[in-house]
Structure 1
Amino acid sequence: MSSNTTDHGFFSKERITAKPGFNRWMIPPAALAVHLCIGQAYAFSVFNNPMTRLIGIDKSAPGDWSLATLGWIFSLAITFLGLSAAFAGKWLEDVGPRKAMFAAACCFGGGFMLGALGIAWHQLWLVYLGYGVIGGMGLGIGYVSPVSTLIKWFPDRRGMATGMAIMGFGGGAFIASPLSVALMQHFRSPTSMGVAQTFVVLGILYFISMNIGALAIRIPAPDWKPDGWTPPVKQNALISRNHVHIDQAMKTPQFWLVWWALCLNVTGGIGVIGQASVMIQESFKGHITPAAAAGFVGLLSLANMLGRFFWSSASDYIGRKNTYYIFLALGALLFFLVPGVGAAGNVALFVLFYIIIISMYGGGFSTVPAYLADLFGTRYVGGIHGRLLTAWAAGGIFGPVLVNYIRQYQVAHGVPPAAAYTDTMYIMAVLLIIGFICNYFVRPVSQHHHMTSEQLSFDQQPAMAAK
């Protein structure tokens, strides 16, 4: 049982329940204050080359870290993002978004600090633990915190709402990429690459910003609806008015079909994002400078951000399933065409294709919470979404591992670096075709999985008692 102190505490759901007349458009900026910070993960590739020269400075020296081992920092962060989101989704429904956002700020900011120590002491395991594990937990908790809140505030535009929430995560690198490069240049010296100092500055900035979002977040009162809005009488068969319990959702084929569709879409996109800076420099050796490569990372981040809002908003009109058809079919085609474009030396088309691919990668994330709300109802969408993000954790391993280790194997066997990504892109295309097939088999959730009115009433009793 909850005490009155707990019920009315600073982090309690009662404390952040909005009063009548609250403007729901105040919530997206609170969500962006968190997601723009944790979106820094997509700019992590700008640290990869400098971190291979921490000892040698001008070039890699014996004892410096290899690109393949550094790739595991990003993979660990995404893995723990998915795992912590699976845990935090249900916890979030119990404690509310303010406490979850504060926990995320502590983990993400603290992860940077521990990672900075690992870099300063040249202990890679500390960087794995700091940014990868603890920082990754901050990513996951921070990621799910605003999503279910925004879905509840915008029942009339679920896709647009999740696009607003998740847009910031895609766009975080647009700020973090040039900022990180500028900070490393500022702190660089004859004996330091400036990476550790950059980690410290970013950790402090992100901790402050994420806590501003935690202070501003509010949740709607039970059964709140926008003024003048009523649920449509006639709607898409895939959009359910019933609710499925979080544990029951995992027993449905729909959960696992969407899981695989997201996982395979993630595998393709995240493999590119994790090595974007290095990949474009090697694909166009001598033509792309590190600064231009950072610009490419920034462009991908912008595409990621805008794609999240565009595609999820479009899904309100064309449907979530049709939107996923586009992601997986068009993505497969572009991955198949990219190697030829790179071989032809067409930088503009190469960049354009990846911009489209990453826009759909981001769109997959922003559309999937609304897809889940359509299939399983809104009561447990935060928890179900958190558990589905284990697909992101899996894709966060598959994608970078495919890109990094296939490249390393091919280069070791005499393949020029510019051609080392070709086979990987073809594999990505095949994976997206498999995802397309999974999406095809998604059907409305069977009635026997739905919660009854008695179950819903009983389920809401603890929350009502707490008030």
Structure 2
Amino acid sequence: MAVTPSPEKALWSSCAAIFWPGSMAFGFPGIMAQHWQIVFGVDRAAVGQILFFLLLGVGSSMYLAGRWQERLGPTRLVLLGTLISSTVSLALPLAPSIGAVHAWAFITGASHSCLYLPALSVVQRWFPTRRGLVAGLVSMVFGLAAAATAPLYSWVLGEAGPTALCLVAGLAALVTGLIAAPFMSFPAPRPALAGTGHGAPGLSLRVGQALRTRSFWALWCTWALAGAAGIAMVTLSVGFGLGRGLNLRQAVMILTAFNLTNGLSRLLSGWLSDLVGRNLTMAGAFVLAGTAYLLLPHAQGLYQWAALAALVGFAFGTLFAVSAPLATDCFGLEHFGAIFGVVFTAYGFLSGALGPWLGGHLLDATGGDFALVFGYLGLFFMASAGLIFLVRPPKI
């Protein structure tokens, strides 16, 4: 089923396969949030649960996707994820209630595990000594997709309605994934690179061995807290802008700024992590984002709000871009998919609840007190800056 790819074809096919799924994860729920709230007559907490269920789908399936990848290979796994993701998107206009939207989010999140994990695994296998750079590029496309498509999604929703928007997104994901999947396979086995110099992956550990290290659990907690603080901006940004008197298209610019740096930062931070270290790169980004969240309720004007949201997006993108090569620094490449899948359970099970869901509940309970919500999210980033320094290659 798979063709024999070159490193460049494997890299660009991996980027293409996760472009439209990235737009569905980071842009689509924010654009559709107001529509679903009006049509189904629900509060902001119910809308915030959409991302909770999407992340729950990711967290529930990422470890399984890692195991399936070892048996099926990345090409078949990407084909499976593409078919599931596009099918449920095409069926979304038939959703009769917000509960059906939650189901769509869960299935979509599960399908993204079958797309994002193979993409990261393939490029790190092809470029083992430039893992930060190539993982950053793949993650950049995943995050930047929403910034590129948010204006398109907003325009299609306003001009043609939600049904047309779902059809555009679903068909684009289907065609792109089917074309890209055959080029996403692992290279022929090559000599082990562990311990051969700067940039080489670490000694390969099994899942059970990784779970017995402090590094694993520090990375897991980082994903829970920084993941919650980052993903919350997807649903909070537009509502914050509307609450400050902006119209919908102006408020979407805050989300666009977040998604723009969420994508662009991934290449920069991945490249930077190869030079100055993964831990320092991530900690610096988290401190900037925590400060931005604390300042956001006190800023004035669209440009200031967008700039601060962009700092949050930068840190969120850094989390995605640098965590993968940091994990292979610590635990090796052989079982990366399964180990990273377990790390992702923090993002899937806790980040959605601690971020969008809890934030929505607090906004409903306090009449829209964004200072309280942004305050605790900022502290999440600050705590993550300390935790990430505990993630070091374990001594085995």
1:167-221 per-residue CA deviation (whole Å, 9 max, x = no partner) reads: 111012123312222222232xxxxxx2133213321221111111113323210
Distance 1:197 1:348, change over 3 A: closer
Q: Give the number of the structure with larger relative contact order, counting CA–CA contacts within 8 Å between residues 6 or more apart.
A: 2
Q: How does 1:204-219 map onto structure 2 within 5 Å?
A: 204-219=171-186
Aligned to 1:275, the other structure's residue is in SS state helix
CA distance in 2, matches of 1:126, 1:442: 39
Equivalent residue for 1:365? 320
Among 82, 99, 112, the residue aligned to 1:139: 112
**SS of match in other structure, 1:145:** helix
Supply the distance in 1 between the matched residues of 2:279 and 2:127 (Cα, whole angstroms): 20
Which deviations, in whole Å up to 9, do the C-alpha atoms of 1:63-113 show, x marking residues without a partner? Answer: 623332122122211221122112101211221111111111111112213
C-alpha distance after superposition, 1:232-260 (max 9, x if no partner): 85548xx7642101232122221111111
Give CA deviations for 1:306-329 in whole Å, capped at 9, x if unaligned: 011111110000111111221232
The match for 1:251 is 212
Counterparts in 2 of 1:60-459, with a 5 A limit? 64-118=41-95, 122-129=96-103, 131-187=104-160, 194-223=161-190, 233-235=196-198, 241-282=202-243, 284-285=244-245, 288-341=246-299, 345-393=300-348, 394-411=350-367, 417=368, 420-447=369-396
Partner of 1:4: none
SS at match of 2:38: coil
The answer to whether the 8 A contact 2:257-2:307 is kept is no
What CA deviation, in whole Å up to 9, does each residue of 1:389-418 have, x standing for no partner? 11221212211023211111110xxxxx4x
Structure 1 residues 294 and 240, CA gap change in structure 2 (3 angstroms): closer
More helix by share: 2
Kindly report structure 1 stretches of 4+ aligned residues shifted beyond 3 Å.
230-236
Aligned AA (2:126):
W
Q: Which amino acid aligns with 1:123?
A: S
TM-score between the two structures when normalised by the length of structure 2: 0.93
CA–CA separation in structure 2 for the residues paired with 1:107 and 1:234: 41
SS of 1:53's equivalent in the other structure is helix
Query: Could you say if the C-alpha distance between residues 402 and 65 of structure 1 is closer, same or farther in structure 2, counting changes exceeding 3 Å?
Result: closer
Read off the aligned partner of 2:10 and give its amino acid letter.
Answer: I
Asked whether the 8 Å contact 1:81–1:141 carries over to 2, the reply is no
1:25 aligns with 2:8: yes
Instruction: Measure, in 1, the Cα distance between the counterparts of 2:186 and 2:53.
Output: 32
Q: Which amino acid aligns with 1:117?
A: L
Q: Which amino acid aligns with 1:39?
A: G
* CA positional deviation for 1:441: 2.6
Cα displacement (A) at 1:146? 0.9
> Which residue identity lines up with residue 243 of structure 1 in the other structure?
S
Moved more, 361-370 or 206-215: 206-215
Q: CA deviation at 1:435?
A: 1.9
| Contact residue 69 and residue 77 of structure 2 kept, 8 A | yes
CA distance in 2, matches of 1:140, 1:218: 16
- Aligned-partner Cα distance in 1 for 2:31–2:168: 16
For the 8 Å contact 1:258–1:442, the answer to whether it is kept is yes
**Residue 275 to residue 336, structure 1, CA distance change in 2 (3 Å):** closer
- Structure number with greater Rg is 1
SS in 2 for 1:371: helix
Q: Percent identity?
A: 20
C-alpha distance in 2, partners of 1:108/1:396? 20
Q: Which runs of 5+ in 2 are unaligned?
A: none
Instruction: Report if the CA contact (8 A) 1:104-1:139 is conserved.
Output: yes
Q: For the aligned residues, what is the CA RMSD?
A: 2.0
Name the TM-score, length of structure 1 as normaliser: 0.80
Q: Relative to structure 1, is the Cα distance of residues 197 and 246 closer, same or farther in structure 2, using a 3 angstrom cutoff? A: same
Determine the structure 2 residue equivalent to 1:452: none
